[in-house]
Chains A and B, each alone.
Chain A
Amino acid sequence: MIAPAAVMISLFFLMPVILTAIFAMTNMSTATGISGGAWQVTQGAVNRLKTAMPELANGIAEPRFVVDEEGLAALEALKLKAGFTTELRTSHMGEVFPSRREAERVIKALKDRPSTREVKQISDLFNRSVLNTRFETRDELMASLKKLGFTLTPAEQDTVAKATYTGWVWTTENFRIIGNSPDMAQIFLNTAFYVSVTLLLFNVSYALFLAITTHYMPASTASIFRAIWLLPRITPVVIYVLLWKWLTWDSGFISMFVGQFGYPPKNYLLDSAYNAWFFVILINGFIGASMGMLVFSSAIKAIPQTQFHASEVDGASRWQQVRHVILPQLRWPILFVTCYQTLSLLASFNEILLSTRGGPGKATEVWSLAAFHTALNNYTGNLEYGLGAAMALVLVVVGIVLSLIYLRIFRYDTLISKPLIED
Chain B
Amino acid sequence: MRILLDKFSKSFGSTNIIEDMNLEVGSGEMLALLGPSGCGKSTTLFAVCGIHRPTSGRILFGTRDVTDLPSQERNVGVVFQSYALYPHMTVEENIGFPLMVRRIASADIKKQVADIADLVHIGDLLGRRPAQLSGGQQQRVALARALIRRPDVLLLDEPLANLDAKLRLEMRSEIRRLQKETGITAILVTHDQVEAMSMCDRIAIMKSGEIVQIATPSEMYKDPRTSFVASFLGNPPISFLKGKAQQGAFVLGENGLCLPIAALSGIPDGTTLSLGVRPEHFGTAGGIPVEGKVVFAETQGRENLYDVVLPDGSVLRSIQPVRDDVKPGDSVRWNLDSASTFVFAEDGRRL
A→B interface (CB under 8 Å) = 304, 306-307, 309-317, 320, 324-325, 328-329, 331, 418-419, 421-423
Contacts and interface: CB of A to CB of B under 8 A. Distances in A.
A49 to B, nearest CB: 69
Given A304-B84, A306-B84, A312 B131 contact: no
A306 B79 CA distance: 10
B167 interface: no
9 contacts: A306-B81, A306-B84, A307-B84, A310-B84, A311-B101, A324-B100, A325-B86, A329-B87, A422-B85
Contacts of A421: 87
B84 A324 contact: no
Given A324-B97, A329-B87, A422-B130, A313 B82 contact: no
Given A316-B72, A317-B101, A325-B86, A310 B80 contact: yes
Contacts, number: 76
A313 B76 contact: yes
Nearest to B75: A315
Contact of A329 (B88, B100, B129, B149): B88
A420 to B, nearest CB: 8
B40 interface: no
B84 A312 contact: no
B54 interface: no
Contacts of A314: 97-98, 101, 145
Interface residues of B, number: 30
B78 A320 contact: no
Nearest to A321: B101
B155 to A, nearest CB: 8
Contact of B131 (A309, A320, A419): A419
Given A311-B97, A316-B101, A306 B130 contact: no
Contacts of A329: 87-88
Contacts of A316: 72, 97, 101
Contacts of B78: 309-310, 313
Interface string B50-88: 110000000000000000001110101110111011111
B49 interface: yes
A419 to B, nearest CB: 6
Given A312-B71, A324-B100, 20 more contacts: A306-B80, A309-B46, A309-B78, A310-B84, A311-B97, A311-B101, A312-B51, A313-B74, A314-B97, A315-B72, A315-B149, A316-B97, A320-B101, A418-B129, A418-B131, A419-B87, A421-B87, A422-B87, A422-B131, A423-B87
Query: Which 7 residue pairs spanning A and B have beta carbons closest together?
Result: A306-B84, A310-B84, A422-B131, A314-B98, A422-B87, A328-B88, A316-B101
A309 to B, nearest CB: 5
A314 B95 CA distance: 10
B46 to A, nearest CB: 8
B102 interface: yes
Contacts of B85: 422
